Amino acid sequence: MRTIVIGDIHGGYKALTQLIERIQLQDTDQLIFLGDYVDGWSENYEVVDFLITLSRKRTNDNHTAPIFLRGNHDALVLDYFVNNVKDIRWREHGGDSTIASYKNKSKQEIQAHIDFLTNELLDYLELDGNGYFHAGFQNLKGPQYEYHPNVVYWDRTLWEVAVSLDPNLQPEDDCYPDRLKLYKEIFIGHTPTSRLGVLEPLNKVNVWNMDTAAAYMGPLSAMCVETKEVWQSDPVHSFYPGESGRN
């Protein structure tokens, strides 16, 4: 069995379908999507609908069902659907593309996506000694001790700590961050690797960042946890000429 982790999608439906084709899924593959399915390129509805269909098909075929984590943008979109919240900061950072994507959809179609975003998304995942988060966590004892549950899909400090850590520091050293000791490896998205000039999955200490700037000028990426084999789509912006994504 392969465990395959997939980074932030941000409405890039065409890149997502290309990536899935390139992975050449096997029946026993465990897909783990790290969140932020929406807010960016124009095909936000199509992304969510594809994920719902993929989950149902794999379940009906007795294949390993995907696992979906909640990203901060997924939470913002759900707040828009359920409470009609249109925060200007959200709209400026991709929200308008999602509003437009759902504009002509029926109440039934939208409700199916609300149900998915409400009931099928996990805040975080612990599996085989590894931790999977959209963003990260702050509590030194682990995510289950967070006072605010949404920290796991908003936090950037875990990645900042991993990036800034002295590579010569060892886990047994007193100054080594306790939260990094909780898992063999930690897989996150949320903060584009392009900020460090990289457009592929980036490893710092035991943290892997899978957000390869699909919302901007990068590709959508997937990686096998066991072997570290990487698959990538073409740059997502190349599928959407005339659109700006989150650039």
Task: Encode the chain (247 residues) as per-residue pLDDT tens digits.
Answer: 999 999 999 999 999 999 999 999 999 999 999 999 999 999 999 999 999 999 999 999 999 999 999 999 999 999 999 999 999 999 999 999 999 999 999 999 999 999 999 999 999 999 999 999 999 999 999 999 999 999 999 999 999 999 999 989 999 999 999 999 999 999 999 999 999 999 999 999 999 999 999 999 999 999 999 999 999 999 999 999 999 999 9
pLDDT at 104: 94
- Domains, the chain: 3-239 (3.60.21.10)
**Which residues touch 108 (CB under 8 Å, ≥6 apart)?**
none
What's the confidence (pLDDT) of residue 157?
A: 97
Q: How many CB atoms lie within 10 A of CB 3?
A: 20
SS3 for 131? strand
Residue 141, both tokens = 């004892």
Alpha-carbon distance 216 to 107, whole Å? Answer: 31
Cα 13 to Cα 51: distance, rounded to the nearest angstrom: 10
Distances, alpha carbon 71 to alpha carbons 29, 63, 68, in Å:
22, 25, 9
Which of helix, strand or coil describes residue 235? coil
Rounded-to-integer distance, Cα 168 and Cα 35, Å: 32
> What pLDDT does 182 receive?
98
What is the rounded distance in angstroms from the CA atom of residue 155 to the CA atom of residue 160? Answer: 10
> What pLDDT was estimated at residue 70?
98
pLDDT for the residue numbered 184: 98
Give yes or no for a contact between 245 and 220, defined as CB atoms under 8 angstroms apart. Answer: no
Q: Name the pTM for this structure.
A: 0.97
Q: Which residue has the tokens 């149900």?
A: 115
